[in-house]
Amino acid sequence: MTEFLATLLLMGLALLWMVAWRRRRHFAVGALIGAVVALVASNWVRSFDLDTMPIWLPALPFALVATTLFGFGVLAWFWGEE
């Protein structure tokens, strides 16, 4: 049963990616890069268990979002309207 659900999920994600590719290619490429990064990160994080998990790991998503938004803010500052 779980194999069927996993196959169904992957087919749905492939369909969504195909629609994104037809409408906005930049979004589709970004989604593909994000999926690859998430796959690599999940394989790396999976090697930790709760006893040996680093203290910084739970706060990492918040730090990445804050750093990304700060970077976009800096870019908007320099590339803003004149």
Query: pLDDT digit string (tens) for 6-56?
Result: 888 888 888 888 888 888 888 888 888 888 888 888 777 666 666 777 788
Tokens of 79: 């590339």
28 CB-contact burial (10 Å; exposed 0-12 / middle 13-18 / buried 19+): middle
The pLDDT of residue 63: 93
Is 45:57 a contact under the CB 8 Å cutoff? yes
Question: Of all helices (H) and strands (E), which one includes residue 59?
Answer: none
The predicted structure's pLDDT at residue 48: 62
Q: Is the per-residue pLDDT at 79 higher than 90?
A: no
Q: How many residues comprise the chain?
A: 82
Parent domain of 74 = 2-79
Q: Please give the structure tokens belonging to residue 4.
A: 């069927």
pTM for this entry: 0.49
Under 8 Å between Cβ of 31 and 20: yes
Q: How many domains does the chain have?
A: 1
